Amino acid sequence: MTAESASSPRPFHYPQPGSALHCGKVSLDALARRHGTPLYVYSADQIVERLRMFDEALAGRDHLVCYAVKANSALAIVKLLADKGAGFDIVSGGELERVLAAAPEAAGRVVFSGVGKTAAEIDRALTADILEFNVESEAELELLAARAKKLKRKTRFALRVNPDVFAETHPYISTGLREHKFGIDIRRALAIYRSVAGHRWLEPHGVSVHIGSQIRSADPFGAALERLNKLVRQLRREGIALKSVDAGGGLGIDYHGGAFDAAARVREYAVAIDRALEGFEGRLLLEPGRFLVAQAGALVARVLQVKRNGSKTFVITDAAMNDLIRPALYQAYHEIVPVKRRAGRPRTVDVVGPVCETGDFFARDRKLAPVEPGDLVALLDAGAYGMAQSSNYNTRLRPAEVLVEGGKARLIRRRETMADLLAPEML
């Protein structure tokens, strides 16, 4: 990694030869000494910059960026984005509570997605007066109508339609085909909208789509939005004028540390969407998550041992799969770098954690710069689906989290204690 520049996709850099890795102007070594390890570190400046990219690229169209809270639900990050005018895409009642706790004024900028909303979750969202529900089945629409009637609150909804667009990504995070559990077949949507036209408690407000995650080409987004726009035009001809189109999220990043022009990627995405929505004058909603926060975050870990076992060398860290499960779950790649560089040639190693599972690894047969016990390493691009998917497996305490803004760092989540873990249990 080289010194940080305006075109750098990450905020992590070595300011000068011999210095420790920094997040912005703050040394990761100093943060680890102060807060311990494993430790999540995020750049507030990077997150805000990524949000700005979307707003600039879509300046010619009425739009709202609804951050996908599932990517990283830290209250401080939710508040940071809310203060910059972002909306929020939530997939659970718990995520709604996080938005309301961090930024209650943002309730009207919330869209509620997800295939299994409960009556209690719907009631809470209705009373909070969120922007719209992204409805994923006819049964859910019936439930929404019943809850709206009971609470006497007319509610806005969008059908999440399944456009049957293939997105080349990991099968676990592809969501736009007919065989997936998400959404409603786009061929059924017209009849469903017709069936609720004039409903006392339901307002057909928009239409929604989400075809998957970590998609690197703008073409699938354009294809999906073209199909949505065709549906919108059909509905308009029948007197049903939708006010919003939700393009979902899914714009990917480069986890391998290569050349990556984030602003150019957003502009390409915006052009594809704008072209697909020609003639639509309503509001565009979009739901980026990973693209906003992934490269803004790193997981800092300390090397416990360097173990040689036959022909293999294992670098064992104090972070584990419970702290960052993406490599074990998705075979995901995260670049790993030493916080302080040593002289010497890279070695081929497995970087693993102490959890009692063979699947507890961060990298296999990876060329890694020399490290020794006691050294710190940083697992990059860990700001999305890192802490959000963490667990207490093996009764391990989850990491602390730090947010860096300019030259200042602040603790936004303390490290868990054993008392925290045992508190809900009874003998």
Tell me if 397 sits within 8 A of 339, measured CB to CB. no
| Residues 348, 219 share a domain | no
| Residues 339, 253 share a domain | no
In a domain, 91, yes or no: no
| Residues 279, 202 share a domain | yes
**408 to each of 301, 339, 354, 401, 420, how far by Cα in Å?**
21, 19, 32, 14, 28
| Residues 266, 326 share a domain | no
| Residues 304, 181 share a domain | no
| Residues 396, 315 share a domain | yes
Q: What is the pLDDT of residue 259?
A: 78
| Residues 169, 37 share a domain | no
Domain of 242 in residue numbering reads as: 113-288
| Residues 311, 281 share a domain | no
In a domain, 88, yes or no: no
| Residues 321, 195 share a domain | no
Q: What is the pLDDT of residue 317?
A: 98
- 6, 259, 356, 426: the catalytic one is 356
| Residues 283, 325 share a domain | no
- Kindly tell me the sign of the dihedral angle through the C-alpha atoms of 171, 208, 49, 27: negative
Q: What is the pLDDT of residue 166?
A: 59
In a domain, 89, yes or no: no
- For residue 415, the cross-strand partners are none
Which of 253, 288, 323 is the last residue in one of the domains? 288
Tell me if 371 sits within 8 A of 365, measured CB to CB. no
Q: What is the pLDDT of residue 173?
A: 39
| Residues 124, 265 share a domain | yes
Q: What is the pLDDT of residue 174?
A: 44
Predicted confidence pLDDT, tens digits, the chain (427 residues): 443 444 468 999 999 999 999 999 999 999 999 999 999 999 999 999 999 999 999 999 999 999 999 999 999 999 999 999 999 999 999 999 999 999 999 999 999 999 999 999 999 999 999 999 999 999 999 999 999 999 999 999 999 999 877 555 434 334 444 555 578 999 999 999 999 999 999 999 999 999 988 898 899 999 999 999 999 999 999 999 999 999 999 999 999 877 789 999 999 999 999 999 999 999 999 999 999 999 999 999 999 999 999 999 999 999 999 999 999 999 999 999 999 999 999 999 999 999 999 999 999 999 999 999 999 999 999 999 999 999 999 999 999 999 999 899 999 999 999 999 999 999 9
Q: What is the pLDDT of residue 90?
A: 98
Which of 254, 288, 322 is the last residue in one of the domains? 288
In a domain, 64, yes or no: no
> What is the CB-side half-sphere exposure of residue 96 using CA atoms within 13 A?
25
Domains in the chain: how many in total?
2
In a domain, 130, yes or no: yes
List the CATH number of the domain containing 366. Answer: 2.40.37.10
Q: What is the pLDDT of residue 350?
A: 98
Structure tokens at 420: 């925290």
List the CATH number of the domain containing 220. Answer: 3.20.20.10
In a domain, 209, yes or no: yes
In a domain, 101, yes or no: no
In a domain, 90, yes or no: no
Instruction: For residues 57 and 291, give the distance between their C-alpha atoms in angstroms, rounded to a whole number.
Output: 14
| Residues 355, 266 share a domain | no
Is 356 assigned a catalytic role?
Answer: yes
Q: What is the pLDDT of residue 181?
A: 57
Confidence (pTM): 0.94
Q: What is the pLDDT of residue 6?
A: 42
User: Which among 297, 279, 188, 262 is positioned nearest to 226, based on CA atoms?
Assistant: 279
Which of 288, 306, 340 is the last residue in one of the domains? 288
Instruction: For residues 183 and 165, give the distance between their C-alpha atoms in angstroms, rounded to a whole number.
Output: 12
